[in-house]
Structure 1
Amino acid sequence: MTLKTQMERIINKSYNNIGGIIVLKGGKTVYENYLNDCTAASTLHVFSVTKSIISILIGIAIDKGHIKSINQKVLDFFPDYTVKRGEKTIQDVTLKDLLTMTAPYKYKAEPYTEYFTSDDWVKSALDLLGGKGKIGEFRYTPLIGPDILSGILVKTTGRSVIDFATEYVFSPLGINVPGNIVFRNEEEQLAWYKEKNVRGWVADRNGVNTAGWGLSLTPMDMAKIGQLYLDGGVWKDRQMVPAWWIEESTKEHSRCNQYKLSYGYLWWIIDDKEHIYAAMGDGGNVIYVNAKKKMVVSIASLSMPHAKDRIKLMKEYIEPVFENYI
């Protein structure tokens, strides 16, 4: 049995919610496969991979002078926000704390119902920021919290997140994200999670796009983003993302003890020595970059609770097949 055959057997048996998988080596497509009735045109909800796209946009906004520094206080971006009496922690939280998942929040379990029924998800997140937790301690916030970053992008650029992303990332890469998706009820949202071809970016009723989830991409869209980062932010001889931002974003700034992984600026650091990092989303959506081996792997997956760890799949089955390709 060849390594490739073994890899495909493992995928079919243990990773059976995958919609599409692409492997790039040295910038060339060396493997492309679609499963579960998905095709190259299928766009899937990539869940928390959205966070890493937001990180890219923050870096571009800094480069263009919209944001001065990641050390700015979060509340500096929201001068009209009223802090409740007696609250102090929120006043010291910085943009960097949000990017490194080291900001404290006032909830033990995310209040999803309160969040989803709100018209203004940015304000909902600000209302929950702070509390008695310590700034600097890693706390991963899947949905409620990252939207503050969308609010910062809107405030500083004067544009919607999707418009800013389209001009500076999506259009140059040939990625089509046609517009906002606004859910009218829970049923619509749950149905959307399960779709195999959904185009757009989720937004609240104010039109502010989500930062922690809600973006839909094709497997090739994801692979292009990985290649953009592998190439230091350059695409077709154009410096799209500052090289220094990519370097900073993909090195350790905090650590998640639960998963025994380091965290950069909304990117997971898989291996510091080989410079392997990844954008990872629920259900097993991944943009995986191995800088040392010049390899990018993208996996778009159908929604599924408790999907099997993709990093093991990458390291034990995918990398050995393609690492020697030239």
Structure 2
Amino acid sequence: MDLTMNNKIFQDITSYTEQVKQEMHASASALIIMKDNKIVHEWYSGTHHFEKGARKIDNSSRFNVYSTRVTYVGLAIALAVYEGFLGLDDRLSDHLNEYDREILGDTTIRHLLTRCTGLKFENKNVNRVFDVATNIEGKRPDILAKILYKATGKTVNEVLSNRVFKPLNWKNTGWVTEGDHHLVCDINSSESYPTLRIGSNIGDERNLYVSARELALWGNLHLYSGMFEDSEILPKEIFDLATSVQSPNTLPSQLPKFGFLWWIKDSEVSVDYNELGSDLPDGSYQILGASGCSCTVIPEFNAVADRMYNSLNASENLGFDYVSDIQMFGNLVISSVDKMKFYIK
């Protein structure tokens, strides 16, 4: 695809990505679209922070993906389920003996993965805030990581490094324990000092830094059910688990549906509760992080799109609407990919 044709096809989504960068007061952004197992559009803008001498964004720049990381925890759990270390319907009380068993009750790993436990964990205490599988709640990947370690003796990072990252030779994905010139800083506003979130390499904290290319390849690995360049990295069944609806039937139909922490497009879900754009077909799945980083997978179009930002708290500081934004992004992905058939014969 020549540059002129590429610009025509992806002009709208590229312009929108840059517009959002400005609205969020992010210093950096990146956009990658994959179609039919190859990158068809790649774009970078800005610098690692706003200070003098900041490095320009390029294909080795690594962004903190924040909640996008939960899909990495989800895949590690899916692998443990496939290999028999865990069961989706195992009770949490069978794996978390430090919490009150009566309060945990019949709550299962499935409920934890699909965000409907009704539980609130605080240190070694747990309280019930709503009946299990009747509403949705925030994500608790740290609890899932704890369960994984108890069941397998391995951390999320160990599982994914040995089974995914190293076999694929991914050098720009990992939980960061120290600073590096490839890391993109977080920005709380255009006036604040840039920061980096450093933590352990266990895989249960919000310090997963990924390049735009490798986040796109992460989505593509799911789209192709574990296949990479004619080699099976992990069995297909693991990805079928992770990316199909696992939410229990008792959950009200208008509420969001989840796989292994992926948001999954379902026509029954109310637009008031949906992060996925209205034009995305059913079966599409997506994840969004607090910094604006996201990954969208569209099996019907054989496409993956990810975009990166480095702005935190834009909703509180600037009134930025994350949900409307990610819905618009998904719709622009569809319109962009749809244009390809008119330009490429």
User: TM (normalized to structure 2)?
Assistant: 0.73
Q: Which amino acid aligns with 2:114?
A: T
- Determine the C-alpha separation between the residues in 2 that align with 1:282 and 1:303: 8
Q: Secondary structure at the match of 1:172?
A: coil
Query: Equivalences for 1:27-176 in 2 at 5 Å?
Result: 27-37=37-47, 38-67=57-86, 69-79=87-97, 81=98, 83=100, 88-106=102-120, 124=123, 127-128=125-126, 130-142=127-139, 145-176=140-171
Contact 1:42/1:197 (8 A) holds in 2: no
Contact between 1:253 and 1:262, CA under 8 Å: does it hold in 2? yes
Among 325, 335, 341, the residue aligned to 1:320: 335
Rounded Cα–Cα distance in structure 1 between residues aligned with 2:42 and 2:129: 48
Q: What letter corresponds to residue 165 of structure 1 in structure 2?
A: L
In the aligned structure 2, how far is the partner of 1:251 from the partner of 1:310? 21
Q: Report Cα offsets for 1:256-280 as digits up to 9, x if no partner.
A: 99x9643222001135654211122
Correspondence 1:14 to 2:20: yes
Contact kept, 8 Å, 1:274 with 1:291, in 2: the verdict is: no
**Partners of 2:129 and 2:14 in 1: how far apart?**
48
Residues 278 and 288 in structure 1, CA contact (< 8 A), matched pair in contact too: yes
Query: How many percent of aligned residue pairs carry the same amino acid?
Result: 20
The amino acid of 2:154's aligned partner reads R
User: How many Å separate the matches in 2 of 1:217 and 1:5?
Assistant: 25
Give the drift of 1:299: 1.2
Say what the alpha-carbon RMSD is for the aligned residues: 3.2
Unaligned 5+ segments in structure 2 are 1-6, 48-56, 188-192, 268-280
User: Which residue does 1:118 correspond to in 2?
Assistant: none
Q: Residues 93, 261 of structure 1: CA spacing in aligned structure 2 closer, same or farther, 3 A cutoff? A: closer
Q: Report deviation, 1:15.
A: 4.0
Q: TM-score, normalised to structure 1's length?
A: 0.77
| Between 156-165 and 294-303, the greater mean CA deviation after superposition | 156-165
Q: Match for residue 207 of structure 2?
A: 214
Residues 43-82 of structure 1 show CA distances to partners (whole Å, capped at 9, x for unaligned) of: 1110111111111111112223322x11111121234x25
The amino acid of 2:20's aligned partner reads S
Give the number of equivalent residue pairs: 288
2:283 is aligned to 275
Structure 1: unaligned runs, 5 residues or longer: 108-114, 116-123, 184-190
- The CA deviation at 1:182 is 8.4
